[in-house]
Structure 1
Amino acid sequence: MTVMQHIEFLTYPVVGPRSELLWGIRIDGRDLRMYAADATRPLWRRELEDDGPQERERFVLTQHGGLYASEITDPVRHFLGDPAPEFARPADPALPVLGCSCGIWGCWPLLTVIDATPETVTWSAFRQPFREQWGELPMGPYVFARTAYEESLTAPTRLAGDPLGHLYDQPVTE
C-alpha cells in the first residue's frame, strides 16, 4: 500500500523589482524549500567550507524561491507534468517546482519528474541541473491523491507574505 503525502499549493506576494505573486508548496505541512535545504546541506558543505556555519546555513535555507505566478500561465498543466514550452526541456521529463531566490527561475531551479495517473500524482527524481555531480537528491518520491492535489492546485491558499520570509531578514553573525 502506497503512503500518500498531503500537498498544499500556496500563493504569496513578493516585494521588490517584481511585485507579484509567487507559487509556494508545502508537503505534509512543510515548505518544499526546507526539504530541498535538507537534501542539499551536505553537498553544499563541500562547496562552501570557507564560509562560516551561520552564513552557509542561511544560504542553504534561502537558495530557492517560488515560481512567479505570471510565468506559470497554466498551473494545472504545469504541476501535472505538462509544462509550457519555456519550462520544457527536450528529452528531459523534469520540470521546475521551485526557482532561484533571485527571482529568475532558470538561475537555480529545483527540478522533479511529475507523473500523473487518474488516481495519483507522484513527484520523484529531484535534482539541481547545475550540479550534475550531485545526481538525484535524497527527496521523495512524494505521492499525492490526485483529487486532493487538483483541489489544492485550483484553489491555492493565499498568504500575506513568504512563509519563510523571516529567514531573509535575519542578519548573519559569526
Structure 2
Amino acid sequence: MRTMQRIEFFNYPVSEQQPDLLWGIRIDGTDLRVHAADATRELWRQESAERSPAEEERFLLLQHDGLPDWGIADAGRHFLGAPAPDFADSATGSTPVLGCSCGVWSCWPLRTVITVTPETVTWSSFRQPFRKEWGELPMGPYVFDRPAYETALAEPVRFAEDPLVVPAGTPR
C-alpha cells in the first residue's frame, strides 16, 4: 500500500495594508514554498552564485507566494485540477499551485498535474514554465486521500499573516 501525504490548505492576507486573501499549502506539515525552494536550489545555483547563503535562502523561500483567492474563483475546482481558464494550461494539463511573490501569480507560477480518482488526489510533474530547461522538478509525486483532501480544501485554516518561517538573519 502506498503511503499517502497529508495536505493542509490555508488562507492568509497579502499584507497588513492589503487584506485580500492568498491560498497557501502545506504537505506533511511543510509549506509548499519550502518544498519548491529545496527542489530549485541547485538549479538556481547554476544560474547565479553571487548571493550570500542568507540572501540565497531568502530568495528561494520567497520566489513564490500563495495564489490569489479573488483570481481562483472556485478553489474546489481549481485544486481538483479544473482551474478557471486564466489558470489552465491545456498543453500540459497542469494547474498552478503557487504564484509569484510579486503579486502577479502568472509571473512565476509553480505548476503541477493534478490527477483525481475516487480514492486519491495526486500532484505530479511539478514544473516552472519559465525555465523549460529545468524540466520536471524533483518534487513529489504527492498522493493524498481524496476525502481528507476535500475536507482540508473545504475548511482552510485562516492565518492573520503569512505563516512561512524565514530563517533568522534572512530579512523578509
Compute the TM-score of the two structures, normalised by the length of structure 2: 0.94
Residues 81-100 of structure 1 correspond to what in structure 2 (within 5 A)? 81-100=81-100
The alpha carbon displacement at 1:51 in A equals 2.2
The alpha carbon displacement at 1:53 in A equals 2.3
The alpha carbon displacement at 1:16 in A equals 6.3
Deviations 1:108-164 (A, max 9, x none): 000000000110000000010000010000000000000000001011011111011
Identify the residue that residue 132 of structure 1 maps to in structure 2.
132
Paired with 1:100 and 1:8, the residues of 2 have a C-alpha distance of 20
Identify the residue that residue 116 of structure 1 maps to in structure 2.
116
| Residue 143 (structure 1) aligned with residue 143 (structure 2) | yes
Residues 70-89 of structure 1 correspond to what in structure 2 (within 5 A)? 70-89=70-89
Paired with 2:89 and 2:96, the residues of 1 have a C-alpha distance of 10
| Residue 29 (structure 1) aligned with residue 29 (structure 2) | yes
Contact 1:98–1:110 under 8 Å retained in 2: yes
Paired with 1:53 and 1:8, the residues of 2 have a C-alpha distance of 29
1:18–1:169 CA distance, 2 compared to 1 (3 A): farther
Contact 1:9–1:156 under 8 Å retained in 2: yes
Question: Quick one: which amino acid aligns to residue 111 of structure 1?
Answer: R
Paired with 1:16 and 1:106, the residues of 2 have a C-alpha distance of 23
Paired with 1:65 and 1:55, the residues of 2 have a C-alpha distance of 17
How many residues get paired?
A: 172
Paired with 2:22 and 2:82, the residues of 1 have a C-alpha distance of 19
Identify the residue that residue 64 of structure 2 maps to in structure 1.
64
The alpha carbon displacement at 1:17 in A equals 6.7
Compute the TM-score of the two structures, normalised by the length of structure 1: 0.93
Paired with 2:43 and 2:142, the residues of 1 have a C-alpha distance of 22
The runs of 5 or more residues in structure 1 that have no matched partner are none
Question: Quick one: which amino acid aligns to residue 21 of structure 2?
Answer: L
Indicate the RMSD between aligned Cα atoms, in angstroms: 1.8
Aligned to 1:70, the other structure's residue is in SS state helix
Paired with 2:90 and 2:5, the residues of 1 have a C-alpha distance of 29
1:63–1:168 CA distance, 2 compared to 1 (3 A): farther
The alpha carbon displacement at 1:61 in A equals 1.2
Contact 2:11–2:157 under 8 Å retained in 1: yes
Question: Quick one: which amino acid aligns to residue 113 of structure 1?
Answer: V
Paired with 1:94 and 1:168, the residues of 2 have a C-alpha distance of 35
- Which has the higher mean CA deviation after the structures are superposed, 49-58 or 22-31? 49-58
1:170–1:54 CA distance, 2 compared to 1 (3 A): closer
The runs of 5 or more residues in structure 2 that have no matched partner are none
The alpha carbon displacement at 1:18 in A equals 4.2
1:15–1:120 CA distance, 2 compared to 1 (3 A): same
